[in-house]
Amino acid sequence: MKKLKFAVFGTGFWSYYQLSGWQELPGVEPIALYNRTQSRAEEVARTFNVPHVYDDPDELLQQHAAELDFMDIITDVDTHALFTEKGAAQGLAVICQKPMAPTLETARRMVTVCKNAGVKLYIHENFRWQAPIRKVKEILDSGLLGKLFRARVTFVSAFPVFQNQPFLAELEEFILTDIGSHILDICRFLFGEVASLYCQTNRVNSQIKGEDVAHVLLRMQNGISCFAEMSYASLLEKEAFPQTLVQVEGEHGSLILTHDFQIKITTRQGTNSTAAEPQMYSWVDPAYAVVHSSIVDCNRNILEDLLGNAPAETTGDDNFQTVRLVHAAYESARTNKVVSLF
């Protein structure tokens, strides 16, 4: 079988897990790495047996664009558009980490540039691929809970994220872009598109630039009221990082996804429990297990689309709707007003 060849742009903290995720799948092969600091790229190249390393993105593309099938952008958000445009100009499909772009306008431009160039754009939005979130979706889709009316999606933690990802402390807009991108995407995945939202934010940790607490109340187009709550400032009895907890109520019952990957379903017949644990690949960091393991499923879904076998969920077009929510939340927090998404 011919393998799809790809180049990675950015070999920081996340690239180890992204490349490990690709290694779980047959049919793909990284052939070149770019990183600002070449020595770091060389280290990653040795770990993953990647033959070519560059500290100049244009040189990488000059040497390899003709043999590449796609690029995987794992840099900080500020350079996502730059590398997307370079890839699109070479006719390469682009995979890009979340958040897609620092501003809504830049995200729109990325989508347009790729469309105009006739190349595919995917955003590596992996939270919706977590095993417990897929299971919750399956239960909701089964109709067991009847018509849904209320939901709560929670990511509340005191995990020291800034140790592994120090640039997060420098972001003027932090939790809504970093975790809100995931949480609001989960809300869309589980409950459909949003009609309007209201948001409040707060900064508790004085060592960082952006907000580390955000509460977003969403009115979904189907009438569900969904409360998305996020915090990186909450010292709790049970540290849930990096799990997203979910509670959903419908006319026939409710479900709750708890810290230990248990989903408890309550109907008039009583309460049943089902487990949805992540697959523990050898390379996952146990502190990030459910997130790292979902990288494989997200990559697989994108690969199937690249091969023309099945549509990807997290395309640029789809993720643009999540980016809209993130920026609508900031607008709402700034103006203290409900923002309509129509």
Contact 67, 60 (CB under 8 A): no
**Phi, then psi, of 19 in degrees rounded to 5:** -70, -35
- Who contacts 280 (Cβ-Cβ below 8 Å, separation ≥6)? 286, 289, 293
Contact between 183 and 155 under an 8 Å Cβ cutoff? The reply is: yes
**DSSP symbol at 3:** P
To ligand 89Y, the closest distance from the beta carbon of 182 in angstroms equals: 6
* Residue 178 binding ligand 89Y, by CB under 6 A: yes
Could you tell me the two tokens for 98?
A: 């979340």
Binding marks (x or -) toward ligand 89Y, 146..175, rule CB under 6 A?
---------------x---x----------
State the number of binding residues for ligand 89Y (CB under 6 A). 6
| Three-class SS state of 11 | coil
Q: Does 242 bind ligand 89Y (CB under 6 A)?
A: yes
- Cβ proximity to ligand 89Y: between 98 and 324 the closer is 98
Q: How far is the CB of 198 from ligand 89Y (least distance, A)?
A: 23
Query: Minimum distance from CB of 250 to ligand 89Y (Å)?
Result: 29
For residue 291, the minimal CB distance to ligand 89Y (Å) is 5
DSSP state of 12: S
Please identify which residue in 133, 179, 302, 303 interacts with ligand 89Y, judged by CB under 6 A.
179
Instruction: Confirm or reject binding of residue 323 to ligand 89Y (CB under 6 A).
Output: no
Question: What does the alpha-carbon distance between residue 71 and residue 86 come to, in Å, rounded to a whole number?
Answer: 10
Residues 6+ apart with CB under 8 A from 30: 5, 6, 7, 8, 19, 22, 48, 50, 72
Say whether residue 57 binds ligand 89Y (CB under 6 A).
no
Contact status: 291 vs ligand 89Y (CB under 6 A): yes
Distance separating alpha carbons of residues 35 and 43, to the nearest angstrom: 11
In the complex with ligand 89Y, the residue whose CB is nearer, 165 or 262, is 165
CA distance 36 to 122: 23
Question: In the bound complex, which residue of the shown chain has the CB atom lying closest to ligand 89Y?
Answer: 161
**298 binding ligand 89Y? (CB under 6 A):** no
Give the nearest distance from C-beta 222 to ligand 89Y in angstroms.
Answer: 27
Q: Closest separation between CB of residue 150 and ligand 89Y, Å? A: 26
Helix (H, G, I), strand (E, B) or coil at 9: strand
Q: How far is the CB of 241 from ligand 89Y (least distance, A)?
A: 8
Residue 39 CB, shortest distance to ligand 89Y, in Å, is 24
Q: Does 133 bind ligand 89Y (CB under 6 A)?
A: no
Residue (84 or 130) nearer to ligand 89Y, CB: 130
Give the residue with the Cβ less far from ligand 89Y, 54 or 330. 330
Query: In the chain, which ranges are continuous DSSP H helix?
Result: 13-23, 38-48, 57-64, 80-89, 104-117, 131-142, 161-164, 175-178, 180-191, 289-306, 316-335
Please write down the long-range contacts of 109-113, taking CB distance under 8 Å and 24 or more positions apart.
109/81, 110/80, 110/81, 110/84, 110/85, 110/316, 111/316, 111/317, 111/320, 113/84, 113/85, 113/88
Task: Pick between residue 149 and residue 281 the one whose CB is nearest to ligand 89Y.
Answer: 281
| Strand blocks (E) in 144-251 | 148-156, 194-202, 213-220, 225-231, 245-250
Q: Which is nearer to ligand 89Y, 185 or 249 (CB)?
A: 185
Nearer to ligand 89Y, 38 or 165 (CB): 165
Question: Between residues 179 and 328, which has the closer beta carbon with respect to ligand 89Y?
Answer: 179
Identity of the residue, 12 or 55, whose beta carbon is nearer to ligand 89Y in the bound complex: 12
Residues that bind ligand 89Y (CB under 6 A): 161, 165, 178-179, 242, 291
